[in-house]
Chains A and B, each alone.
Chain A
Amino acid sequence: MDVLTDNFSTFGKGFLGTVELTVYASLLALALGFVMASFRVAPVGSFRAFGTAWVTVLRNTPLTLLFFAVLLGLPRFGLVLPFKVFAVLALGCYTSAFICEALRSGINTVPKGQGEAARSLGMSFGQTLSMVVLPQAFRSVIAPVGSNLIALAKNSAIAGAFSVTELLGSYKTLSELGYNIIWTFVWIALGYLIITLAISAIFNVLEKRWGVAR
């Protein structure tokens, strides 16, 4: 118990670090995932190919390898950015592949006739996608996107092991101070539970409000 009360600031810093990393990486993942999903259903072949390559490669890359390549590899190119930015980039790009697939499966749940109706009204691809199909697709992908963001929050632990200030990283500081390691982990676990439960609560509310049962 003392571990938490004595080191509230260390835990707090780690907790906020995880939240910060999760929020920024989520925003990047959502934006990139959206772009890639549009690429994957676009009429231009090379766009589709690029989207497919992006998803296939990133989905099959171990996240540790990606962190390894980005955090330790990119600086050798002379590309030096703050550690946190690298972590957000790696996490965001990795998760964007999963978000893209979730969105794409959402697009596929919209009945074909809707797209055909939009086209018969003379709408272009962009209009059909943005005004008819995507608004409906978003409603059916709330749950899968939520679970992908939960996975992102959990994956952010890897950034901690690569020593960004983050929840998991705080165990190192504390074990050096000689605190009971088991209790430290109990509090870390609780911290992650709070974050994942919060995301799932947010998405439950969103789903109640906008979700559709198909």
Chain B
Amino acid sequence: MKALSHDSTALYDIPGPKTVRRHKLYGVISTLIVLALVGWLLYLLFDTDQFTATKWTPFEYKGIQELLLRGLGNTLKAFAISAVLALALGGLLAVGRLSDHRPVRWLATLVVEFFRAMPVLVMIFFVFVALKVQPLPALVAGLTLYNGSVLAEVFRSGVNSVERGQREAAYALGMRKTQVMGHVLVPQAVRAMLPAIISQLVVALKDTSLGYLITYEEFLHAGKLIASNLDYDLPFIPVVMVISPIYIGMCMLLSWFAQWVSKRQRRNPKTEAADVAPAEPGTLLPGTQ
């Protein structure tokens, strides 16, 4: 017998022959609608001459390719630096939030809550405009502060997700807090929160594109340079068509990696107990952590 093919709740019965026919009809109709939309889009593209040779030949020039590659390199550079720094800051803030000393805890909480409540772009602009910093450090600073704060919450909930008994047992053995953390809680927590960490890195990768707005010469910036060139007949749509799949593809790869890790974790009996909530996009709601 064929079981329900997806993991949702049992919202409908296994369809009988008549319903299968009806669903097929719906399927055909909706596919036709989508195809019609795609066709209309293609018509618009052709109608506005987006496929004329002058708009696409620039991509054959070596200079243009190098410009795009340099932009992509700059994007990845900003991502790599801010990912490393955000992980470090997140670790530091998480240690602060889990501290036994009240002032330290309050300070860390204040920092985390403030930077999660601010739009990343405002932070980036603040560093760039008010502190007059170069574009790359400004972008990295903004991304590090925001993602570091979110990661601190992920780390904290990861450590707290390890069963209480483990901590108690370790203390009962006479371990000090550092030992309990280092030997017992963190090794287990890291496993459980790995998917959440990678998902947050996707956010960081996506947000590197904000560098475009402060004239950091990243991928989108390179695209803009090409798109606004009169010599190439302003190939705006072609640029979007070249850049978007690469950008979205990179983020998708990272997302899939996170999903793959999380699926693997779920099969692993060692991590079954701990379940870390995914990183929320920044919130002041007490209920969501």
Stretch at the interface among B7-15, B82-90, B94-102: B7-15
- Asked if B196 is at the interface (CB within 8 A of a chain A CB), the reply is no
Interface of B (DSSP majority class): helix
Interface of A (DSSP majority class): helix
Known: A115-B11, A168-B122. 7 other contacts (CB 8 A): A43-B12, A59-B255, A64-B213, A69-B244, A72-B236, A108-B7, A154-B118
A171 CA / B34 CA spacing, docked (Å): 42
Knowing A43-B23, A72-B236 touch, does A60 contact B206 (C-beta < 8 A)? yes
Is A65 a contact partner of B209 (Cβ separation < 8 A)?
yes
- Asked if B173 is at the interface (CB within 8 A of a chain A CB), the reply is no
A154 CA / B207 CA spacing, docked (Å): 13
Interface residues of B, count at CB 8 A: 64
Is B247 a contact partner of A61 (Cβ separation < 8 A)?
yes
Return the contact of A115 from the options B9, B34, B125 (Cβ within 8 A).
B9
- Asked if A129 is at the interface (CB within 8 A of a chain B CB), the reply is yes
A120 CA / B224 CA spacing, docked (Å): 58
Return the contact of B281 from the options A48, A73, A115, A148 (Cβ within 8 A).
A148
Map CB proximity to A onto B160-179 as digits: 1 under 8 Å, 0 otherwise.
Answer: 00000000000000000000
A114 / chain B contacts, CB cutoff of 8 Å:
9
Minimum C-beta distance from A109 to chain B (A): 9
Stretch at the interface among B24-32, B62-70, B268-276: B24-32
- Asked if B3 is at the interface (CB within 8 A of a chain A CB), the reply is no
Interface residues of A, count at CB 8 A: 75
Is A98 a contact partner of B281 (Cβ separation < 8 A)?
yes
Knowing A110-B9, A116-B10, A119-B10 touch, does A157 contact B121 (C-beta < 8 A)? yes
Knowing A64-B213, A157-B122, A188-B122 touch, does A107 contact B8 (C-beta < 8 A)? yes
B288 / chain A contacts, CB cutoff of 8 Å:
143-144, 146-147
